[in-house]
C-alpha cells in the first residue's frame, strides 16, 4: 500500500504573531473606516430626527449628554483622525514619498502616536 502524506490544518494563533508596525497602522485604518461607515447613517438619522421635531431634538440632546455617548464620540473621533492621517500616509507612499522602510516605519509610529494625541486635543478643545 502506498502511503500518502496529508497536510493537516495548522492552528494559527493570531495572538502570538508579531505584526510589523505598518501592518498595525493599515489594519487600524481599515477598522477606523468600518467604524465611520457604520456610524455615518446613524449620525445622519439622529441629525434628521433632531431637526424634524422639538421632541427629536430633546431626545438627541439627552443622548449626547450621556456618558456612553462620550466614549462613543471619542472612539469615532479617533477613527476619523486615524483614518485621515493613515489615508494621507498611504497616498504619499503610493506616490513614492516615504516608502523606504525606515521612513515607512517612522511614519507608522507617528500615526500611532499622533491620532490619539490629536483626538484628546480635539476632545479637550471641544469641551471648553
- SS3 of 50-115: the string is HHHCHHHHHHHHHHHCCHHHHHHHHHHHHHHHHHHHHHHHHHHHHCCCCCCHHHHHHHHHHHHHHH
Contacts of 18 (CB under 8 A, 6+ apart): none
Domain harbouring 73, CATH code: 1.20.1300.10
Classify residue 100: in a domain, yes or no.
yes
Classify residue 79: in a domain, yes or no.
yes
pLDDT bucket at 127, cuts 50 / 70 / 90: confident
Range of the domain at 70: 20-127
| pLDDT tens-digit series, residues 9-20 | 787 887 888 899
Count of the separate structural domains present in the chain: 1
| pLDDT tens-digit series, residues 76-124 | 999 999 999 999 999 999 999 999 999 999 999 999 999 999 999 999 9
Classify residue 86: in a domain, yes or no.
yes
| pLDDT tens-digit series, residues 73-88 | 999 999 999 999 999 9
Amino acid at each position: 500500500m502506498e502511503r500518502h502524506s496529508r497536510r493537516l490544518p495548522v492552528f494559527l494563533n493570531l495572538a502570538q504573531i508579531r505584526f510589523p508596525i505598518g501592518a498595525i497602522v493599515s489594519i487600524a485604518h481599515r477598522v477606523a473606516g468600518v467604524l465611520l461607515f457604520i456610524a455615518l447613517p446613524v449620525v445622519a438619522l439622529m441629525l434628521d430626527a433632531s431637526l424634524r421635531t422639538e421632541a427629536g431634538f430633546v431626545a438627541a440632546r439627552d443622548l449626547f449628554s450621556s456618558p456612553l455617548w462620550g466614549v462613543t464620540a471619542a472612539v469615532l473621533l479617533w477613527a476619523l483622525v486615524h483614518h485621515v492621517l493613515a489615508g494621507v500616509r498611504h497616498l504619499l507612499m503610493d506616490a513614492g514619498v516615504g516608502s523606504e522602510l525606515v521612513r515607512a516605519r517612522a511614519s507608522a509610529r507617528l500615526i500611532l502616536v499622533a491620532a490619539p494625541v490629536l483626538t484628546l486635543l480635539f476632545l479637550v478643545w471641544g469641551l471648553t
